[in-house]
Amino acid sequence: METTNLESPDVANHHYNYVTNLLLNENKSAYEAKKQLVAQGLSDEIAELIVEHVEIEIQEAKHEKARKDMIYGALWFCGGIILTMADIGFIFWGAILFGGIQFFKGVINSNS
């Protein structure tokens, strides 16, 4: 089996992209992704490090998206309430409803 030199940024990026694709698009488990890397010639330790790093990055991205959903949801909700209370003749129920749904979607995703 050929061992891969991870000193090259192209090779490292290839492995990170490959694991990301396995975990996100192909719904493989971390164990299966690690096995795939080992089959490509990486050692168990390096494969484990790559998979762990990619899992951490995925979790951070999901948490950041959930945080943004909560912020934008709260802004839409508050904006709808403020404009409705300004008594300009309209009830901004769409903004209120959309903001509430988006906020609670972010809360649920943040806690999962």
Residue 91 lies in a domain: yes
Confidence at residue 89, expressed as pLDDT on a 0 to 100 scale: 81
Whole domain around residue 63: which residue ranges?
9-111
Tokens of 81: 């309430």
What's the rounded Cα separation, in Å, for the pair 36 and 54?
14
The reply to whether 55 falls in a domain is: yes
Rounded mean pLDDT, 90-97 = 92
pTM of the model: 0.74
- Mean predicted confidence (pLDDT) in 30-56: 92
Residue 1 has pLDDT above 80, yes or no: no
Rounded Cα distance, 43 and 61, in Å: 27
Structural domain includes residue 22:
yes
Report if residue 96 sits inside a domain: yes
Comparing 6 with 42, which gets the higher pLDDT? 42
Assess if residue 32 is contained within a domain.
Answer: yes
pLDDT (0 to 100) of residue 7: 56
- Structural domain tally of the chain? 1
